[in-house]
Amino acid sequence: MTNPHKGRTGLDRVIRAAGYSVAGLQSAYRGESAFRQEFWLAAVLVPLAFWLGRGWVEIALLAGSVMIVLIVELLNSAIEAAIDRISFEIHDLSKRAKDIGSAAVFLSLLLCAGIWCGALWQRFSNLS
């Protein structure tokens, strides 16, 4: 059996996919306070990465680590929404899925903080 929603091709598929992506970002922004906080942090840190980074690799690491936080938060929100769609009943597997998603966000935040602290240290530790 063929999925009737998978028949689009070419430019029509790209346009619709972009629309779905924008809808997902809007949904996360409206419905997830953590995503809103991380979004505004990214709005400050990504431009700052271009000032702080001393080359394209440093800029990519700084900005990329911030984007990874947003990406992982979106995936965590998707997991939570899927679990809640199935049932609000407290279940060990539901808790496990949500806890693992939360742990992924936590690790992405630690990675981001580590990269930024290292870059700030390198940039300002030689000042006398």
SS3 letters across 47-62:
HHHHHHCCCHHHHHHH
Instruction: Check if 32 is active-site.
Output: no
Say which of 38, 73, 80, 89 is annotated catalytic: 73
What SS3 state is found at 128? coil
What is the spatial distance between Cα 4 and Cα 114, in angstroms, rounded to a whole number? 45
Q: Supply the DSSP string of 2-59, one letter for each residue.
A: --GGG---HHHHHHHHHHHHHHHHHHHHHH-HHHHHHHHHHHHHHHHHHHH-SSHHHH
Q: Give the pLDDT of the chain (128 residues) as one tens digit per residue.
A: 667 667 777 888 999 999 999 999 999 999 999 999 999 999 999 999 999 999 999 999 999 999 999 999 999 999 999 999 999 888 999 999 999 999 999 999 999 999 999 999 998 987 65
Q: What architecture does CATH give domain 33-124?
A: Orthogonal Bundle (1.10)
Predicted TM-score (pTM) of this structure: 0.88
